[in-house]
Amino acid sequence: MRILMVSDVYFPRVNGVSTSIQTLRQALTEAGHSSLLVTPDYPAAAAESGVVRVPGWQIPRDPEDRLMHPRALTQVLDALDPADFDLVHIHTPFLAHRAGVRWARRHGLPCVETYHTLFEEYFHHYLPFLPKPWLAAAARMISRKECDGVTAVIAPSSAMKQALLSYGVSSPIHIIPTGLRLADFSNCDGPAFRARHDIASGRPVMAYVGRVAFEKNLDFLLQVTDQARRSLPDVLFVIAGEGPARASLERAVAKRGLAGNVRFVGYLERRTELSACYCSADVFVFASKTETQGLVLLEAMALGVPVVGLAEMGTKDVLQEGQGCRIAPDDVAGFARVLTPLLTDRAAAQALGAAGRTYAANWSEARMGEAILALYQTLHTGPVAGGIPAPA
């Protein structure tokens, strides 16, 4: 099949949506199918086969993202030959959604959208001057309207599907998680990472990898670190990633006197440094309550790093007690009680990590790619073939 993808975000912007798109495109290529991705241009964007970059502007107060120029986006899409594509796959609900749906409808092509992000839980962090109930209601209304404007919706988890159903979405919703490219997580050098960052080989290390954003509940993990150091004074919490919450978290570290127990290492190269960061940790920790899946949990498991996390929202589908993880309660003392034994008992941590490797293999990109291809084929040849309905 030939797929046109449209997204408001992609690498070098690092987040779960970018990773999901890249993994899916690789799986499609390896299965003998093709895709073209239309996405924003970035100052540091490298040329990539099958990716068309659209110029745009930096978003105010958000230096990591770019807003595609609407006219430029329209020109890029209008220059494409619809005969070259069988289906449109949209990955974000902003300009990409509107332009992608309009193009698919004009050319009579089926259109699927992956609902990657639970925006209801995100908007209030970035628009704090507006009432949270208003923002949540707006997010639900927009999500319902957009999801009902496509042929089918992909939800990364059962919790995400239930959320969309609660919004009143009537389009078919298919649960297909993002797959894990296991070849990228087959080996790494944790000791080398520790040496580069001056971390003693025997020091207990807990790590987080991902966007440093308010919705990731990282302040909770700082409190857990504070609790854990009561029995492990030299415990170190390594935070890999960047985002709008970093300055606030750094102030919290200073206020709590945690400067010697917390290390921010910023963005890391995904195929080398990032894997080494995972492997440098005794335990991977995760406390977000708004994830639609939580791919980093599987990445840690694939590398044999045990996970301690909250089973909330989409992570409920990923975290299975004993399958590479320990599920912690949603309170600081309780989380620390689950975490601390794994930081001190290396044998237990290694056994749990080994179980995680086996478990993560069930989430391979090949298996998830097959599920998406099956959906594509149904949309292309089934009763919905011939495009998407016009807006009411």
H-helix segments, the chain: 16-30, 70-78, 95-106, 123-126, 132-147, 158-167, 190-196, 218-228, 246-255, 275-280, 295-302, 315-318, 332-344, 346-360, 365-381
- Over residues 12-39, the mean pLDDT reads 94
The pLDDT assigned to 232 comes to: 98
The pLDDT assigned to 129 comes to: 64
The pLDDT assigned to 280 comes to: 97
Q: Are the C-beta atoms of 140 and 120 separated by less than 8 Å?
A: yes
CATH fold of 2-179+365-381: Rossmann fold (3.40.50)
**pLDDT digit string, tens, across residues 49-105:** 999 999 999 987 777 899 999 999 999 999 999 999 999 999 999 999 999 999 999
pLDDT at 135 over 90: no
The pLDDT assigned to 119 comes to: 80
The pLDDT assigned to 390 comes to: 46
**pLDDT digit string, tens, across residues 157-205:** 999 999 999 999 999 999 999 999 988 887 789 999 999 999 999 999 9
pLDDT at 38 over 80: yes
pLDDT at 138 over 70: yes
- Over residues 264-268, the mean pLDDT reads 96
- Over residues 345-371, the mean pLDDT reads 95
The pLDDT assigned to 388 comes to: 58
Question: Measured between alpha carbons, how far is residue 290 from residues 51, 159, 202, 314, 324 in Å?
Answer: 29, 10, 33, 7, 21
User: How much is the mean pLDDT over the chain?
Assistant: 93
Weakest mean pLDDT among 36-40, 215-219, 383-387: 383-387
Same CATH fold, 182-362 and 2-179+365-381?
yes
Question: Measured between alpha carbons, how far is residue 216 from residues 157, 222, 263, 301 in Å?
Answer: 18, 12, 17, 19
Where along the chain do its domains lie? 2-179+365-381, 182-362
CB contact burial 81-120 (16+ within 10 A = b; e otherwise): eeeebbbbbbbbbbbbbbbbbebbbebebbbbbbbbbbbb
Give the helix/strand (H/E) hosting 217: none
CATH 3.40.50.2000 fits 182-362, yes or no: yes
> Assign residue 263 a region: left if phi > 0, alpha if psi is -120 to 50, beta otherwise?
beta
The DSSP bridge partners found for residue 56 are 68
**pTM for this predicted structure:** 0.86
Cβ-based neighbours of 107, under 8 Å, separated by 6 or more: 82, 387
pLDDT at 386 over 50: no
The pLDDT assigned to 391 comes to: 43
